[in-house]
Homo-oligomer: A and B are copies of this chain.
Amino acid sequence: MIDTLVTKIKKTEAPIVVGLDPKLNFIPSAILDKAYAAYGKSLEAASYAILEFNKGIIDATYDLIPAVKPQIAMYEQFGLPGLVAFKETVNYAKSKGLVIIGDVKRGDIGSTSESYAIAHLGSIDVGGEKIKVFDEDFATVNPYLGSDGIKPFTDVCAKEGKGIFILVKTSNPSSGEFQDKDMEGKPLYEHVGAMVDKWGKDLIGECGYSSVGAVVGATYPEVGKIMRKVMPKTYILVPGYGAQGGKGKDLVHFFNDDGLGAIVNSSRGIIAAYKNEAYAKYGEEGYADAARQAVIDMREDIKSALN
A residues near B (Cβ < 8 Å) are: 21, 24, 32, 36, 41-43, 45-46, 71, 73-74, 76-80, 83-84, 87, 105-110, 112-113, 115-116, 118-119, 124-129, 131, 133-134, 142-149, 167, 170-179, 181-184, 188, 191-192, 195
A71 to B192, CA, bound (A): 26
Contact B83 A127 (CB under 8 A): no
Contact B79 A134 (CB under 8 A): yes
Q: Chain B contacts of A176 at CB under 8 A?
A: 146
Contact B118 A77 (CB under 8 A): yes
Contact B173 A148 (CB under 8 A): yes
- State the number of copies, please: 2
Which one of B24, B105, B125, B191 contacts A126 once the chains associate, using CB atoms below 8 Å? B24
Q: Chain B contacts of A184 at CB under 8 A?
A: 181-183
Q: Smallest CB–CB gap between A42 and chain B, Å?
A: 6
Q: Chain B contacts of A149 at CB under 8 A?
A: 172, 174
Contact A131 B42 (CB under 8 A): yes
A126 to B45, CA, bound (A): 8
Which one of B107, B110, B124, B178 contacts A146 once the chains associate, using CB atoms below 8 Å? B178
Q: Chain B contacts of A188 at CB under 8 A?
A: 178, 181, 183, 188
15 pairs, A vs B, C-beta closer than 8 Å: A41-B128, A41-B129, A43-B124, A43-B126, A45-B127, A78-B126, A79-B87, A80-B84, A105-B107, A105-B108, A105-B142, A144-B179, A146-B172, A146-B178, A183-B183
